[in-house]
Amino acid sequence: MVRIAVLVSGGGTNLEALLEAEESGRIPSGRIELVVADRPSYALERAARHGREAVLIERKKIGMKLFSSELVDVLRNHGIDMVILAGFLSILPPSVIDQYRDRIINIHPSLIPSFCGKGFYGLKVHEAALERGVKVTGATVHLVNEIPDGGRILIQKAVAVLPGDSPETLQRRVMEEAEWKILPEAAQMIAKEIEDESR
Ligand code: GRF
């Protein structure tokens, strides 16, 4: 059974989707053993409600250097095999990327390579999509490497942009129709690869 850690910063709706998927048997190769937040966030309450260990490491308070070493320690102490970034807003330290090469996945709320990279996160992604006037957007799950949103694309799902959409209504639709579906699918895909490797 692959031991999974989920890193969060915000509301935790993607974490909720992962937990519900796992609890309904859609991630048979892995189990979410740990949730780590880089700031106080509602996602931590979601973890607690599902009886999962949740750790807060406040990056802004302790700085990137201490944050990095504490993150590496907590992942190692929990025997974590795979990491999922679910609305995580900190840059992942190179030490974590090195230790979990090809075992870290991230959900981005656009069809990469559109509207991604530095400065594209949260509502800003949907504001840019509306500004450009695209008729189709969506979400992408990709492996994480040193390049922001640069790793191998695993799964994408398209979502229509509707007349009159605001950034908020578009974000909600992309979450409901894409993010919350493809992140659990990708989690199972990579957990299965890791499981098969260790056989
Ligand atoms: C949302 O903008 C989502 O598109 C992105 O991270 C933000 C918060 O997600 N992946 P969550 O509710 O904290 O999972």
Q: 41 in ligand 1 pocket by Cβ < 6 Å?
A: no
pLDDT single digits (tens) 124-181: 999 999 999 999 999 999 999 998 888 999 999 999 999 999 999 999 999 999 999 9
Q: What is the dihedral of CA 185, 191, 196, 199, to 10 degrees?
A: -150
d(CA 72, CA 76): 6
What's residue 109's pLDDT?
Answer: 98
Which of helix, strand or coil describes residue 102? coil
Helices 167-174 and 123-132, packing angle to 10 deg: 110
Tell me which fold the domain 2-197 belongs to: Rossmann fold (3.40.50)
What's residue 9's pLDDT?
Answer: 97
- Check if the beta carbon of residue 52 is closer than 8 Å to that of residue 34: yes
78, 108, 126, 142: the active-site residue: 108
What single-letter amino acid sits at 98?
Answer: D
- Check if the beta carbon of residue 94 is closer than 8 Å to that of residue 67: no
Reply yes or no on whether 108 is catalytic: yes
Q: 12 in ligand 1 pocket by Cβ < 6 Å?
A: yes
What single-letter amino acid sits at 2?
Answer: V
Q: Please report the sign of the dihedral spanned by the C-alpha atoms of residue 66, residue 71, residue 72, residue 74.
A: positive
Domain ranges of the chain: 2-197
What single-letter amino acid sits at 199?
Answer: R
pTM higher than 0.95: yes
d(CA 148, CA 116): 8
Q: How many A from CA of 83 to the centre of ligand 1?
A: 16
d(CA 187, CA 6): 10
- Check if the beta carbon of residue 179 is closer than 8 Å to that of residue 106: no
Q: What is the arithmetic mean of pLDDT over 98-125?
A: 96
Q: 107 in ligand 1 pocket by Cβ < 6 Å?
A: yes
Q: 150 in ligand 1 pocket by Cβ < 6 Å?
A: no
d(CA 27, CA 9): 23
With pLDDT > 70 as the criterion, what percentage of the chain qualifies? Answer: 100
d(CA 176, CA 82): 24
pLDDT single digits (tens) 38-64: 999 999 999 999 999 999 999 999 999
Atom of ligand 1 nearest to the CA of 107: 10
DSSP per-residue string spanning 151-168: SPEEEEEEEEPPTT--HH
Q: 14 in ligand 1 pocket by Cβ < 6 Å?
A: yes
d(CA 130, CA 170): 9
Atom of ligand 1 nearest to the CA of 171: 4
Q: What is the chain's mean pLDDT, rounded?
A: 97
